[in-house]
Structure 1
Protein backbone atom coordinates (compact mmCIF):
# COMPACT_ATOMS: atom_id res chain seq x y z
CA UNK A 1 0.00 0.00 0.00
CA UNK A 2 1.43 3.39 -1.00
CA UNK A 3 1.53 6.46 1.23
CA UNK A 4 -1.63 7.94 -0.29
CA UNK A 5 -3.62 4.79 0.37
CA UNK A 6 -2.33 4.55 3.93
CA UNK A 7 -3.28 8.17 4.58
CA UNK A 8 -6.77 7.61 3.18
CA UNK A 9 -7.22 4.50 5.32
CA UNK A 10 -6.07 6.38 8.41
CA UNK A 11 -8.53 9.18 7.76
CA UNK A 12 -11.34 6.70 7.22
CA UNK A 13 -10.49 4.97 10.49
CA UNK A 14 -10.45 8.28 12.37
CA UNK A 15 -13.78 9.30 10.87
CA UNK A 16 -15.25 5.96 11.91
CA UNK A 17 -13.98 6.38 15.47
CA UNK A 18 -15.38 9.91 15.62
CA UNK A 19 -18.80 8.63 14.63
CA UNK A 20 -18.89 6.11 17.49
CA UNK A 21 -21.16 7.43 20.29
CA UNK A 22 -19.45 8.37 23.50
CA UNK A 23 -21.78 6.24 25.60
CA UNK A 24 -20.81 3.17 23.55
CA UNK A 25 -17.09 3.77 24.12
CA UNK A 26 -17.73 4.35 27.81
CA UNK A 27 -19.73 1.14 28.12
CA UNK A 28 -17.02 -0.82 26.31
CA UNK A 29 -14.34 0.61 28.62
CA UNK A 30 -16.39 -0.21 31.72
CA UNK A 31 -16.92 -3.77 30.48
CA UNK A 32 -13.21 -4.30 29.86
CA UNK A 33 -12.42 -2.82 33.27
CA UNK A 34 -14.80 -5.24 34.98
CA UNK A 35 -13.22 -8.17 33.17
CA UNK A 36 -9.71 -7.00 34.06
CA UNK A 37 -10.35 -6.30 37.74
CA UNK A 38 -12.62 -9.29 38.46
CA UNK A 39 -10.65 -12.58 38.22
CA UNK A 40 -13.67 -14.86 37.56
CA UNK A 41 -14.34 -12.96 34.34
CA UNK A 42 -10.78 -12.87 33.07
CA UNK A 43 -10.37 -16.62 33.64
CA UNK A 44 -13.24 -17.27 31.24
CA UNK A 45 -11.25 -15.73 28.38
CA UNK A 46 -8.81 -17.72 26.27
CA UNK A 47 -5.13 -17.19 26.97
CA UNK A 48 -4.60 -15.21 23.78
CA UNK A 49 -7.40 -12.78 24.73
CA UNK A 50 -6.04 -12.38 28.25
CA UNK A 51 -2.68 -11.23 26.89
CA UNK A 52 -4.19 -8.43 24.79
CA UNK A 53 -6.76 -7.35 27.38
CA UNK A 54 -4.52 -4.70 29.05
CA UNK A 55 -3.74 -3.10 25.70
CA UNK A 56 -7.41 -3.17 24.65
CA UNK A 57 -8.42 -1.60 27.97
CA UNK A 58 -5.81 1.14 27.60
CA UNK A 59 -6.86 1.93 24.03
CA UNK A 60 -10.56 1.98 24.91
CA UNK A 61 -9.95 4.32 27.86
CA UNK A 62 -7.90 6.68 25.71
CA UNK A 63 -10.54 6.69 22.99
CA UNK A 64 -13.28 7.36 25.55
CA UNK A 65 -11.37 10.25 27.10
CA UNK A 66 -10.56 11.75 23.70
CA UNK A 67 -14.18 11.39 22.61
CA UNK A 68 -15.55 13.28 25.60
CA UNK A 69 -12.80 15.91 25.37
CA UNK A 70 -13.67 16.40 21.70
CA UNK A 71 -17.37 16.73 22.51
CA UNK A 72 -16.68 19.24 25.29
CA UNK A 73 -14.39 21.23 23.01
CA UNK A 74 -16.99 21.26 20.23
CA UNK A 75 -19.68 22.52 22.61
CA UNK A 76 -17.35 25.21 23.93
CA UNK A 77 -16.46 26.38 20.42
CA UNK A 78 -20.12 26.45 19.46
CA UNK A 79 -21.02 28.53 22.51
CA UNK A 80 -18.21 30.94 21.71
CA UNK A 81 -19.36 31.20 18.10
CA UNK A 82 -22.92 31.95 19.19
CA UNK A 83 -21.71 34.51 21.75
CA UNK A 84 -19.49 36.19 19.16
CA UNK A 85 -22.35 36.41 16.70
CA UNK A 86 -24.56 37.87 19.43
CA UNK A 87 -21.90 40.45 20.28
CA UNK A 88 -21.61 41.45 16.63
CA UNK A 89 -25.36 41.93 16.39
CA UNK A 90 -25.42 44.04 19.58
CA UNK A 91 -22.50 46.13 18.35
CA UNK A 92 -24.01 46.75 14.91
CA UNK A 93 -27.61 47.14 16.05
CA UNK A 94 -27.21 49.11 19.27
CA UNK A 95 -23.88 50.31 20.58
CA UNK A 96 -22.26 51.55 17.39
CA UNK A 97 -25.37 53.62 16.53
CA UNK A 98 -25.36 54.85 20.15
CA UNK A 99 -21.79 56.09 19.84
CA UNK A 100 -22.58 57.68 16.48
CA UNK A 101 -25.09 59.92 18.26
CA UNK A 102 -22.19 61.49 20.15
CA UNK A 103 -20.06 62.30 17.10
CA UNK A 104 -21.21 65.92 17.21
CA UNK A 105 -22.18 65.98 20.88
CA UNK A 106 -19.34 66.51 23.33
CA UNK A 107 -19.86 65.23 26.86
CA UNK A 108 -17.70 66.70 29.62
CA UNK A 109 -17.49 64.83 32.92
CA UNK A 110 -16.17 66.43 36.11
CA UNK A 111 -15.41 64.49 39.27
CA UNK A 112 -14.73 65.74 42.77
CA UNK A 113 -13.93 64.19 46.13
CA UNK A 114 -15.21 65.51 49.45
CA UNK A 115 -12.65 63.47 51.40
CA UNK A 116 -9.52 63.24 49.28
CA UNK A 117 -7.04 62.99 52.16
CA UNK A 118 -6.65 60.48 54.96
CA UNK A 119 -7.26 63.10 57.66
CA UNK A 120 -10.65 63.87 56.11
CA UNK A 121 -11.62 60.21 56.13
CA UNK A 122 -10.39 59.79 59.72
CA UNK A 123 -12.63 62.66 60.77
CA UNK A 124 -15.57 61.03 58.99
CA UNK A 125 -14.79 57.72 60.70
CA UNK A 126 -14.79 59.37 64.14
CA UNK A 127 -18.17 60.89 63.41
CA UNK A 128 -19.54 57.51 62.38
CA UNK A 129 -18.25 55.88 65.57
CA UNK A 130 -20.27 58.21 67.77
CA UNK A 131 -23.38 58.35 65.62
CA UNK A 132 -24.83 54.95 66.55
CA UNK A 133 -25.87 53.35 69.80
CA UNK A 134 -24.69 49.90 68.80
CA UNK A 135 -20.87 49.73 68.80
CA UNK A 136 -20.82 47.12 66.03
CA UNK A 137 -22.80 49.36 63.68
CA UNK A 138 -20.56 52.33 64.44
CA UNK A 139 -17.37 50.33 63.85
CA UNK A 140 -18.70 48.94 60.57
CA UNK A 141 -19.71 52.36 59.27
CA UNK A 142 -16.44 53.90 60.47
CA UNK A 143 -14.46 51.23 58.62
CA UNK A 144 -16.30 52.06 55.43
CA UNK A 145 -15.72 55.78 55.97
CA UNK A 146 -11.96 55.20 56.13
CA UNK A 147 -11.96 54.16 52.47
CA UNK A 148 -14.79 56.35 51.19
CA UNK A 149 -13.44 59.37 49.34
CA UNK A 150 -17.03 60.58 48.82
CA UNK A 151 -16.47 61.03 45.12
CA UNK A 152 -19.21 62.56 43.01
CA UNK A 153 -19.43 63.27 39.30
CA UNK A 154 -21.38 65.64 37.11
CA UNK A 155 -21.61 65.86 33.34
CA UNK A 156 -22.97 68.09 30.64
CA UNK A 157 -23.25 68.14 26.88
CA UNK A 158 -21.16 71.22 26.15
CA UNK A 159 -22.27 71.65 22.55
CA UNK A 160 -23.89 69.72 19.76
CA UNK A 161 -27.35 69.52 21.26
CA UNK A 162 -29.01 67.87 24.23
CA UNK A 163 -28.38 64.39 25.54
CA UNK A 164 -29.86 62.11 22.83
CA UNK A 165 -32.16 60.16 25.12
CA UNK A 166 -35.05 60.05 22.63
CA UNK A 167 -32.82 58.64 19.89
CA UNK A 168 -31.33 56.07 22.28
CA UNK A 169 -34.77 54.96 23.43
CA UNK A 170 -35.92 54.68 19.81
CA UNK A 171 -32.97 52.44 18.94
CA UNK A 172 -33.69 50.24 21.96
CA UNK A 173 -37.33 49.86 20.89
CA UNK A 174 -36.35 48.90 17.34
CA UNK A 175 -33.76 46.38 18.54
CA UNK A 176 -35.36 45.21 21.76
CA UNK A 177 -34.25 41.62 21.11
CA UNK A 178 -30.62 42.76 21.41
CA UNK A 179 -31.05 44.94 24.50
CA UNK A 180 -29.99 43.61 27.88
CA UNK A 181 -32.06 44.08 31.01
CA UNK A 182 -29.39 46.46 32.32
CA UNK A 183 -29.64 48.68 29.24
CA UNK A 184 -33.43 48.80 29.36
CA UNK A 185 -33.38 49.75 33.04
CA UNK A 186 -30.78 52.46 32.45
CA UNK A 187 -32.85 53.99 29.64
CA UNK A 188 -35.96 53.84 31.82
CA UNK A 189 -34.20 55.54 34.74
CA UNK A 190 -32.74 58.21 32.49
CA UNK A 191 -36.20 58.93 31.09
CA UNK A 192 -37.74 59.22 34.56
CA UNK A 193 -34.89 61.42 35.77
CA UNK A 194 -35.92 64.12 33.29
CA UNK A 195 -39.36 64.32 34.86
CA UNK A 196 -37.75 64.83 38.26
CA UNK A 197 -35.09 67.26 36.99
CA UNK A 198 -36.21 69.16 33.87
CA UNK A 199 -33.08 71.35 33.87
CA UNK A 200 -31.31 70.58 30.57
CA UNK A 201 -28.10 72.43 31.40
CA UNK A 202 -26.61 69.37 33.13
CA UNK A 203 -26.97 65.66 32.57
CA UNK A 204 -28.76 63.80 35.33
CA UNK A 205 -27.00 61.05 37.26
CA UNK A 206 -29.12 58.49 35.41
CA UNK A 207 -28.10 59.93 32.03
CA UNK A 208 -24.46 59.86 33.08
CA UNK A 209 -24.83 56.22 34.12
CA UNK A 210 -26.39 55.44 30.73
CA UNK A 211 -23.61 57.24 28.86
CA UNK A 212 -20.94 55.42 30.89
CA UNK A 213 -22.61 52.10 30.14
CA UNK A 214 -22.76 52.85 26.40
CA UNK A 215 -19.10 53.85 26.26
CA UNK A 216 -17.97 50.81 28.27
CA UNK A 217 -20.03 48.30 26.29
CA UNK A 218 -18.99 49.81 22.95
CA UNK A 219 -15.32 49.45 23.86
CA UNK A 220 -15.81 45.89 25.10
CA UNK A 221 -17.82 44.73 22.08
CA UNK A 222 -15.41 46.43 19.68
CA UNK A 223 -12.53 44.45 21.17
CA UNK A 224 -14.47 41.19 20.95
CA UNK A 225 -16.30 41.50 17.67
CA UNK A 226 -14.51 44.32 15.89
Structure 2
Protein backbone atom coordinates (compact mmCIF):
# COMPACT_ATOMS: atom_id res chain seq x y z
CA UNK A 1 0.00 0.00 0.00
CA UNK A 2 1.36 3.40 -0.99
CA UNK A 3 2.05 6.14 1.53
CA UNK A 4 0.55 9.60 1.64
CA UNK A 5 2.14 12.98 0.93
CA UNK A 6 1.03 15.63 3.43
CA UNK A 7 1.43 19.34 2.67
CA UNK A 8 1.67 20.96 6.09
CA UNK A 9 1.44 24.74 6.64
CA UNK A 10 3.64 26.22 9.36
CA UNK A 11 3.25 29.56 11.19
CA UNK A 12 4.27 32.72 9.33
CA UNK A 13 5.53 34.23 12.58
CA UNK A 14 3.40 33.33 15.58
CA UNK A 15 3.92 29.76 16.82
CA UNK A 16 0.39 29.76 18.27
CA UNK A 17 -0.91 29.51 14.69
CA UNK A 18 0.34 25.93 14.40
CA UNK A 19 -2.69 23.62 14.32
CA UNK A 20 -3.16 20.53 16.49
CA UNK A 21 -3.59 18.47 13.34
CA UNK A 22 -0.35 19.74 11.82
CA UNK A 23 1.57 18.78 14.97
CA UNK A 24 0.00 15.32 15.00
CA UNK A 25 0.75 14.66 11.34
CA UNK A 26 4.39 15.76 11.70
CA UNK A 27 4.76 13.38 14.66
CA UNK A 28 3.19 10.47 12.78
CA UNK A 29 4.87 10.62 9.36
CA UNK A 30 7.99 8.62 8.52
CA UNK A 31 9.99 11.65 7.38
CA UNK A 32 9.72 15.39 6.89
CA UNK A 33 10.84 17.46 3.92
CA UNK A 34 11.82 21.02 4.87
CA UNK A 35 12.69 24.03 2.75
CA UNK A 36 15.55 24.84 5.13
CA UNK A 37 16.33 22.33 7.88
CA UNK A 38 18.02 25.05 9.97
CA UNK A 39 14.88 27.18 9.93
CA UNK A 40 12.58 24.25 10.68
CA UNK A 41 14.69 22.82 13.53
CA UNK A 42 13.51 25.32 16.21
CA UNK A 43 9.86 24.85 15.17
CA UNK A 44 10.05 21.06 15.36
CA UNK A 45 11.91 21.18 18.68
CA UNK A 46 9.32 23.58 20.12
CA UNK A 47 6.51 21.09 19.44
CA UNK A 48 8.51 18.01 20.44
CA UNK A 49 8.67 16.58 16.91
CA UNK A 50 11.60 14.20 16.53
CA UNK A 51 11.68 12.91 12.95
CA UNK A 52 14.16 12.52 10.12
CA UNK A 53 14.26 15.78 8.21
CA UNK A 54 15.57 16.21 4.67
CA UNK A 55 16.10 19.43 2.72
CA UNK A 56 13.67 20.00 -0.15
CA UNK A 57 14.07 23.38 -1.83
CA UNK A 58 14.09 25.04 -5.26
CA UNK A 59 17.66 23.97 -5.95
CA UNK A 60 17.17 20.24 -5.41
CA UNK A 61 13.45 19.54 -5.77
CA UNK A 62 13.63 18.26 -9.35
CA UNK A 63 16.48 15.90 -8.51
CA UNK A 64 15.02 14.74 -5.18
CA UNK A 65 11.45 14.17 -6.31
CA UNK A 66 12.08 10.80 -7.96
CA UNK A 67 13.47 9.42 -4.70
CA UNK A 68 10.55 10.84 -2.72
CA UNK A 69 8.05 9.24 -5.12
CA UNK A 70 9.88 5.95 -4.60
CA UNK A 71 9.54 6.25 -0.81
CA UNK A 72 5.82 7.01 -1.15
CA UNK A 73 5.30 3.94 -3.34
CA UNK A 74 7.08 1.87 -0.70
CA UNK A 75 4.41 2.92 1.80
CA UNK A 76 6.16 5.72 3.65
CA UNK A 77 4.13 8.73 4.75
CA UNK A 78 5.92 12.02 4.08
CA UNK A 79 5.22 15.60 5.17
CA UNK A 80 6.39 18.68 3.29
CA UNK A 81 6.85 21.98 5.14
CA UNK A 82 8.25 25.34 4.06
CA UNK A 83 10.04 27.97 6.14
CA UNK A 84 6.71 29.70 6.79
CA UNK A 85 3.16 29.39 5.51
CA UNK A 86 1.71 26.87 3.10
CA UNK A 87 4.16 25.00 0.84
CA UNK A 88 3.85 25.59 -2.94
CA UNK A 89 2.45 29.13 -2.44
CA UNK A 90 5.48 31.11 -3.67
CA UNK A 91 7.54 28.30 -2.12
CA UNK A 92 8.80 24.86 -3.24
CA UNK A 93 6.17 22.14 -3.44
CA UNK A 94 4.25 22.43 -6.70
CA UNK A 95 6.59 20.15 -8.65
CA UNK A 96 6.49 17.40 -6.01
CA UNK A 97 2.69 17.56 -5.73
CA UNK A 98 2.29 17.44 -9.50
CA UNK A 99 4.53 14.39 -9.83
CA UNK A 100 2.77 12.61 -6.96
CA UNK A 101 -0.59 13.26 -8.62
CA UNK A 102 0.78 11.93 -11.92
CA UNK A 103 1.75 8.73 -10.13
CA UNK A 104 -1.76 8.53 -8.64
CA UNK A 105 -0.40 8.85 -5.12
CA UNK A 106 -2.53 10.35 -2.38
CA UNK A 107 -1.84 14.01 -1.55
CA UNK A 108 -3.40 15.78 1.42
CA UNK A 109 -2.94 19.51 1.99
CA UNK A 110 -3.81 20.66 5.51
CA UNK A 111 -5.47 24.05 5.98
CA UNK A 112 -3.38 26.55 7.87
CA UNK A 113 -1.26 29.67 7.87
CA UNK A 114 -0.61 31.67 4.72
CA UNK A 115 0.29 35.35 4.47
CA UNK A 116 -1.96 36.62 1.69
CA UNK A 117 -5.35 35.78 3.26
CA UNK A 118 -5.02 37.91 6.42
CA UNK A 119 -3.37 40.68 4.36
CA UNK A 120 -6.33 40.72 1.97
CA UNK A 121 -8.93 40.74 4.73
CA UNK A 122 -7.02 43.42 6.69
CA UNK A 123 -6.74 45.65 3.62
CA UNK A 124 -10.38 46.66 3.46
CA UNK A 125 -10.23 46.28 -0.32
CA UNK A 126 -12.87 44.22 -2.17
CA UNK A 127 -12.21 40.53 -1.54
CA UNK A 128 -15.18 38.87 -3.22
CA UNK A 129 -12.86 38.45 -6.22
CA UNK A 130 -9.08 38.75 -6.20
CA UNK A 131 -5.98 37.61 -8.04
CA UNK A 132 -2.81 36.35 -6.34
CA UNK A 133 0.34 37.38 -8.22
CA UNK A 134 3.00 36.42 -5.65
CA UNK A 135 6.42 37.84 -6.50
CA UNK A 136 6.71 39.88 -9.68
CA UNK A 137 9.48 38.90 -12.12
CA UNK A 138 12.71 40.49 -10.93
CA UNK A 139 13.86 41.56 -14.40
CA UNK A 140 12.63 39.86 -17.57
CA UNK A 141 8.92 40.34 -18.17
CA UNK A 142 8.40 42.64 -15.18
CA UNK A 143 7.20 45.73 -17.07
CA UNK A 144 5.09 43.67 -19.45
CA UNK A 145 3.36 42.06 -16.47
CA UNK A 146 2.71 45.43 -14.83
CA UNK A 147 1.24 46.85 -18.06
CA UNK A 148 -1.15 43.91 -18.24
CA UNK A 149 -2.15 44.18 -14.59
CA UNK A 150 -2.88 47.90 -14.92
CA UNK A 151 -6.31 46.97 -16.34
CA UNK A 152 -7.05 44.20 -13.82
CA UNK A 153 -10.40 44.92 -12.14
CA UNK A 154 -9.98 42.54 -9.20
CA UNK A 155 -7.93 43.23 -6.08
CA UNK A 156 -4.35 42.11 -6.69
CA UNK A 157 -2.03 40.56 -4.10
CA UNK A 158 1.76 40.67 -4.31
CA UNK A 159 4.63 39.44 -2.14
CA UNK A 160 7.71 41.63 -1.89
CA UNK A 161 11.05 41.72 -0.07
CA UNK A 162 12.28 44.73 1.95
CA UNK A 163 15.04 45.70 -0.49
CA UNK A 164 12.65 45.85 -3.48
CA UNK A 165 9.61 47.40 -1.80
CA UNK A 166 10.25 51.04 -2.73
CA UNK A 167 11.12 50.13 -6.31
CA UNK A 168 7.88 48.18 -6.61
CA UNK A 169 5.80 51.03 -5.15
CA UNK A 170 7.45 53.45 -7.60
CA UNK A 171 6.48 51.14 -10.48
CA UNK A 172 2.93 50.81 -9.13
CA UNK A 173 2.64 54.61 -9.20
CA UNK A 174 3.86 54.62 -12.81
CA UNK A 175 1.71 51.77 -14.13
CA UNK A 176 -1.34 51.81 -11.83
CA UNK A 177 -1.45 55.52 -10.98
CA UNK A 178 -0.45 57.41 -7.85
CA UNK A 179 -4.01 57.46 -6.49
CA UNK A 180 -4.64 53.70 -6.72
CA UNK A 181 -5.69 52.43 -3.25
CA UNK A 182 -3.34 49.88 -1.68
CA UNK A 183 -2.54 48.27 1.65
CA UNK A 184 0.93 47.07 2.64
CA UNK A 185 1.15 44.49 5.43
CA UNK A 186 4.33 43.45 7.14
CA UNK A 187 5.30 41.16 10.02
CA UNK A 188 1.85 39.53 9.92
CA UNK A 189 0.95 37.63 13.11
CA UNK A 190 4.05 38.99 14.88
CA UNK A 191 4.43 41.56 17.68
CA UNK A 192 5.13 44.45 15.30
CA UNK A 193 2.47 43.65 12.71
CA UNK A 194 1.64 46.68 10.59
CA UNK A 195 -1.05 47.30 7.98
CA UNK A 196 -0.63 50.61 6.16
CA UNK A 197 -3.53 51.76 3.97
CA UNK A 198 -3.76 54.64 1.51
CA UNK A 199 -2.90 55.61 -2.06
CA UNK A 200 0.27 54.38 -3.75
CA UNK A 201 1.98 57.75 -3.31
CA UNK A 202 0.99 57.95 0.37
CA UNK A 203 2.26 54.45 1.15
CA UNK A 204 5.51 55.07 -0.71
CA UNK A 205 6.08 58.22 1.35
CA UNK A 206 5.41 56.28 4.55
CA UNK A 207 7.99 53.61 3.83
CA UNK A 208 10.57 56.10 2.58
CA UNK A 209 10.62 57.43 6.13
CA UNK A 210 10.50 54.15 8.03
CA UNK A 211 12.77 51.16 8.47
CA UNK A 212 12.06 48.44 5.93
CA UNK A 213 12.07 45.18 7.84
CA UNK A 214 10.17 41.92 7.53
CA UNK A 215 8.24 40.27 4.73
CA UNK A 216 5.69 42.40 2.87
CA UNK A 217 2.30 41.63 1.33
CA UNK A 218 0.85 44.32 -0.95
CA UNK A 219 -2.85 44.42 -1.79
CA UNK A 220 -3.74 46.71 -4.70
CA UNK A 221 -7.25 47.83 -5.59
CA UNK A 222 -8.42 46.88 -9.06
CA UNK A 223 -8.73 49.30 -11.95
CA UNK A 224 -12.08 51.02 -12.38
CA UNK A 225 -11.30 52.19 -15.93
CA UNK A 226 -13.03 49.19 -17.50
CA UNK A 227 -16.09 49.78 -15.32
CA UNK A 228 -16.22 53.46 -16.34
CA UNK A 229 -15.93 52.45 -20.00
CA UNK A 230 -18.87 50.04 -19.66
CA UNK A 231 -20.96 52.71 -17.93
CA UNK A 232 -20.20 55.17 -20.73
CA UNK A 233 -21.17 52.63 -23.39
CA UNK A 234 -24.43 51.93 -21.54
CA UNK A 235 -25.26 55.66 -21.38
CA UNK A 236 -24.60 56.03 -25.11
CA UNK A 237 -26.93 53.14 -25.85
CA UNK A 238 -29.63 54.72 -23.73
CA UNK A 239 -29.12 58.05 -25.51
CA UNK A 240 -29.66 56.53 -28.95
CA UNK A 241 -32.37 54.11 -27.91
CA UNK A 242 -30.35 50.97 -28.53
CA UNK A 243 -30.82 49.23 -25.22
CA UNK A 244 -32.25 45.72 -25.46
CA UNK A 245 -35.73 45.35 -24.00
TM-score class normalised by the smaller sequence: under 0.3
> TM-score scaled to structure 1, two decimals?
0.20
Structure with higher strand content: 2
Structure of higher CA gyration radius: 1
> TM-score scaled to structure 2, two decimals?
0.19
Structure with higher helix content: 1
